[in-house]
Structure 1
Amino acid sequence: MKNDAFIQHVMNVPPLESIRDARSVDLPASEAIVPAGAAVSGAGIIGFVEGMSQQAKDDVLDSYSYATLAADRRHSSTEEPGKWYQVFREVMTRVMHWTSQDAAYSSYSRRERVLTLDQIVMQILAKSLYAAGVGAVGAPQLLEIAGAAVEKLSEKDEPLQLFNYNSTKPLGGGRAMVGGCRESADGVIVLAVGAVELKTDLTVGNVLFFNWNSVSLDVQRNSDVFVFNQSLYARSRRQKVRDALERSADAVVELYPID
């Protein structure tokens, strides 16, 4: 399926509650530098390294949100673990002009008796970053900002409620994604993402920070380090993605700053 047809096919995403329209800010990078921060997007949280332009952050969140919603339309992460993330990766790479530098997919090894999903995500983020050769400076920086985003999420009621609403499922499962993003001086954007999809017999309202007994769940892990072709995205995708999200009305991503 061609990219334009693919976008047309997935643009009608079912609405989510209490979601605002995306911002339409389109400032040059030199006029819109913002400090480090983080945002909740669906069942994911992304931390941004200090110095990223507002346009870069908007492009990252729009493309990430679109890929997430497209995957949601095709697969349940709890009923078909792994297939959901495959669609997410395909949309990010084939439609949104991200290039995957490293990818990993595996079942969780039941070595720990008690675990939390944020710990699992940070572990696979670390492995993915170093496997992709991000470098002595970039890898720790992305890990640090992702860890800070998780910590801030646990301290803020409103974004945590939004995250839990989108990550927990009533019928035995859930999903959580954590990412760290940075923009180099010459405009290269790197996004490291870790994702966990789980099946469980338990019903909990806080998937990411719940103290899980390893025998009570089945966890699938995925991770990628993406590099963004922002100029190509701006020429052929930015406005189409924004328009598609706007036509989806309340299904567009909600941004809750947590810094």
Structure 2
Amino acid sequence: MTTVTPGSGNQSAAVIEQSLLAFGLGIDPAIRNDIKNAYQYASLVASRRFPNEGQTEQWFAQFIDVMRDCGWVALKRTYERERAQTQSLKLGAIAFKGMKVVGQAVLSNPLTDALAQLAADALEGLGQVTEAQDILLRNLKEKKTGTVGLGACIQNEAGEVILAMSAIDSTPFADHELNTVVFEWKSTAIELYTGSAVFAFNSDLYGSVRADIRNKLQDRAVRNVLDYDI
């Protein structure tokens, strides 16, 4: 559908509610703020309606519906049950796999590879930023949500913004110690739900709801977003 030349260095990532979202080079700061606000708003709506463990499938469907209302066109979405082939399942590996599979279904190989690299760099960076880990773990504990997410965004030379993301059922990981990076938790669960999607951003449509979403987030005094470089 579109191609991109991956950059190197100076990418950034953000902890947004219970998700980790990476941004590629060249994304305009104003657009990056729009992406974060839409993603956070959709996460909050989904978590309010489906906050419990074992509700990731419903959470993901609600998240997609809200993102669509915020100007994000879902190009592809998938639902999978990940079955353990070894003695443990790893959150990071499952989310990464889900993003690549859904990306390869609708995007060019260079774009899929660039999104996957961004996600990998964000995962590595998360392990080096204690504050980011603390915010993510706090969000998971305080909200008692059963879903965590991983995503990556890229803007091509034509200005098109593509987002690939995965939502994962964290229930089988809930009993593990919280002193490790959340995406490196392991579980011996036999099966794990993963939802993945690729979106394209319609900034004109988002413009009609931008102020409303910003005001709602400000009124709620949301503090649960932290940016860091990777």
Asked whether the two chains share a fold, i.e. TM above 0.5, the reply is: yes
8 A contact 2:176–2:185 mirrored in 1: no
User: By how many angstroms is 1:258 displaced?
Assistant: 4.0
Q: Given residue 163 of structure 1, which amino acid in structure 2 is its aligned partner? A: L
Deviations 1:133-152 (A, max 9, x none): x1021110010001100110
Specify which of 145, 149, 156 is matched with residue 122 of structure 2: 149
Corresponding residue number in structure 2 for 1:30: none
Q: Given residue 88 of structure 2, which amino acid in structure 1 is its aligned partner? A: V
Task: Indicate yes or no: 2:85 matched with 1:114.
Answer: no
Q: Which has more radius of gyration?
A: 1
Q: Distance in 2 between matches of 1:225 and 1:77?
A: 25
Q: Distance in 2 between matches of 1:35 and 1:204?
A: 32
Task: Indicate yes or no: 2:151 matched with 1:179.
Answer: yes
8 A contact 1:49–1:181 mirrored in 2: yes
User: By how many angstroms is 1:252 displaced?
Assistant: 5.2
Specify which of 133, 139, 143 is matched with residue 112 of structure 2: 139
User: By how many angstroms is 1:115 displaced?
Assistant: 2.5
Specify which of 149, 164, 189 is matched with residue 161 of structure 2: 189
Deviations 1:213-259 (A, max 9, x none): 234xx52100000000012212x01111111111112x254223243
User: By how many angstroms is 1:155 displaced?
Assistant: 1.2
Deviations 1:65-91 (A, max 9, x none): 000001111012514231111111110
Q: Where do residues 217-256 of structure 1 align in structure 2 (5 Å cutoff)? A: 218-234=191-207, 236-249=208-221, 251=222, 253-256=224-227
Q: Distance in 2 between matches of 1:49 and 1:169?
A: 30
8 A contact 1:67–1:91 mirrored in 2: yes
8 A contact 1:92–1:98 mirrored in 2: yes
Q: Distance in 2 between matches of 1:115 and 1:80?
A: 19
Q: Where do residues 52-201 of structure 1 align in structure 2 (5 Å cutoff)? A: 52-93=27-68, 95-132=69-106, 134-168=107-141, 174-200=146-172
Q: Distance in 2 between matches of 1:118 and 1:169?
A: 21
Q: Given residue 256 of structure 1, which amino acid in structure 2 is its aligned partner? A: D
5+ unaligned residues in a row in structure 1: which ranges?
1-33
Cα distance change, pair 223–192 in 1 and its aligned pair in 2 (3 A): same
Q: Distance in 1 between matches of 2:45 and 2:223?
A: 12
Cα distance change, pair 253–231 in 1 and its aligned pair in 2 (3 A): farther
User: By how many angstroms is 1:176 displaced?
Assistant: 1.9
Indicate the RMSD between aligned Cα atoms, in angstroms: 2.1
Deviations 1:64-119 (A, max 9, x none): 000000111101251423111111111001x2010111101122212121231000
8 A contact 2:164–2:197 mirrored in 1: yes
Q: Given residue 161 of structure 1, which amino acid in structure 2 is its aligned partner? A: D
* Large movers: runs of 4+ above 3 Å: 168-171
* SS of residue matched to 1:70: helix
Corresponding residue number in structure 1 for 2:177: 204
8 A contact 1:153–1:258 mirrored in 2: no
User: By how many angstroms is 1:169 displaced?
Assistant: 7.1
Query: How many residues were matched structurally?
Result: 219
Kindly, what percent of the aligned residue pairs are identical?
23
8 A contact 1:77–1:83 mirrored in 2: no
User: By how many angstroms is 1:37 displaced?
Assistant: 1.0
Q: Distance in 2 between matches of 1:88 and 1:64?
A: 9
5+ unaligned residues in a row in structure 2: which ranges?
1-8
8 A contact 1:125–1:223 mirrored in 2: yes
User: By how many angstroms is 1:202 displaced?
Assistant: 2.3
Stretch moving more, 48-57 or 201-210: 201-210
